Structure 1
Amino acid sequence: MKATIRDVARLAEVSISTVSRVMNAPETVVASKRDRVLEAIRQLQYQPNAFARGLIYKKSFTLGLLIPDIENLYYAGIIRGMQDACNKLGYSLMISNTDRDQERMLAYIDAFHEKQVDGIVLASDRLYPEYHERLTRCRIPFVLLSTHSDEHEVPSIEVDDEAAAYDAVKFLIDLGHREIGMIGFSHHDSIAGPPRYAGFVRALAETGLEDNAGRVKNANHRFEEAYQAAHELFTAYPSLTAVFCVADEFAMGTISYLKDRNILVPGQVSVIGFDNLRMAGMFIPKLTTIAQPIYELGYRAAEKLHELLTTGKVEVLREKMPHRLIVRESSRERGAP
């Protein structure tokens, strides 16, 4: 039978409260009693359960993570980073998939509140007034990941989407491409969609290619929808020689469409993605893409939430992490053999 705190107290001949103080504030216990308790813990191989630990600290040592699509490979890296940080910081992690459904999101917030999670990370979704009101009413500290709020002073961690998209399109322009299209995000409440489009437009405007700004078709977060968007894009603009895709899965859908039409990538059309998923280096051709530090974003989100929980504030409210261009096989200089 597993040893209890009562067993430790009996063996060490001290009170249960003394055992608790040895585990949580050992400097408050005289050396003789502390040594007896530690020896009893060793002999009995005692491990305090999470519930008892929570009663002592008035915390659950559990964080919640709300993500919109657990099937999206982007979130695998986010979850891995956050889980590793939680392990280091002494938290458990609860994950819920929202499908960007507002009723489901509110229900999960309520569920996390009932489970007494210490804090929540909300990933890749707009902070609607209903979410903010519910989280505030439940008094749950929270951090935004791969999103931000302009209306509220809420801690957030993300990349600079506008600058990253600009770098992607500028790279295509520097390769000599002048007929450039884009596969963007279609949902009207997208956080990343507008700034990535703004980066696309800024790069075009700086080089006198404003006519390309309307050469955009949109999709949701699925390969199949990107395939259809690529069909619509190239039907409308068959002269395109390069495409900027706002997600690697979109780039894969675009390349698959072009392959099915016997259009060579990068021989005839260069394609650049966004994210640098693990699959980006396995796909054929290997994707040129804008790399987000996906694992680090998840890890830092947990650290940021821990900082908020332990100090009541964060040093950097709206934090930006660096992106970088990864050049692989799906892009080529215009006209190169």
Structure 2
Amino acid sequence: MSTIYIRTLKRAEHTVFAVEDGQKRYYDPQFGRYIPYSSGQQIKRSLIDRLTSVINEVPAPTTFVFGVNSKGELGEGEVYANCNPSYADQLFGGWMKAAKGGKERTIKRRSPLSISAMRGLHPLLSGINRENASFDRSDRPNNLVIVRDANGNELSKEQIAEFLEGKDRSLSRKWIPDQRRATGLFVQDIAIDLRRLFCVTLNSFEPEITQETEDSLRENGWEEIENVFGKCLVAPKDARDKLIPALANAIINWSITSNQSRTFSLMETLAVSISDNANRIAGSIRAKLSHEEEDKAIPIIEEDLSGVETFVTLPASGYVLTKKESADALEKAENRLVELMMTFDYENQL
């Protein structure tokens, strides 16, 4: 087995994943509905945040380049990562450094983690509702109100009072219309490429690291081996033993940390499936259209599907018919991931 697939089922309630016109969404043409989603990039960042928190490590620094033009204006330049797998967020997150002007070689490494967006389990099992909100401070006598005229001049209290005559308007309350909230069952997939998880290739034609970084890694115990991608450096066993439990914890316990505080949702995990077969894992957590009712889908968790290990939490039974939910389901899933990643022979892949 060289790839581990993980499917996660979560429940979200009246929340916001990412703010874009209220809530990111896409249109499903078959069912004619807008479906909320959280991008793979947001999931990846949430996972990496959890990982670095578990190992108590500051993420690698990021370089932001700007340029000042002849008019004295600040212009946008390139952004690039540290490109050093000694940092866990770089090792698992991947990197790319493409210098402006093409005078330096582009350094890039694809992440060994393929991460999908978190989207609705089925278009009929997730959706967006709308609400109107307000920012109301009308009960406070010490508010400061500033009103400016068309020329930007601040009006006096007398001018404001005169302006408000005949108008039913409060100046201590802001109306926030058409706010979108996500609710429903959501699924997310991750694939771990074990062949590249702790390996950095030494292909000089498509370099992943600089010579300086390569020398540093060798000095720190990274061993040269060969796998299907050619010659590469593999992280030492003590580093793997430290990072594997942290990565398993992050994959099982990540949570979206960038949603708005006033629309917080636990987004509890209902089930996790683990397999080496992408097709089977797709069937382990799925939905099925109802034969009896139109426009109704039934969520399904296959707890005994051959080739798939499924771990069901206690909250799942409130939304899906289950038989084997348990309080320690996520701990068992985490331990199983650790076992699978520890078992792989990283030094002898061929």
Give the TM-score normalised by structure 2.
Answer: 0.22
Give the TM-score normalised by structure 1.
Answer: 0.23
- Whose helix proportion is higher, 1 or 2? 1
- Whose strand proportion is higher, 1 or 2? 2
Q: Which structure exhibits the higher relative contact order, with contacts defined as CA atoms closer than 8 Å and separated by 6 or more residues?
A: 2
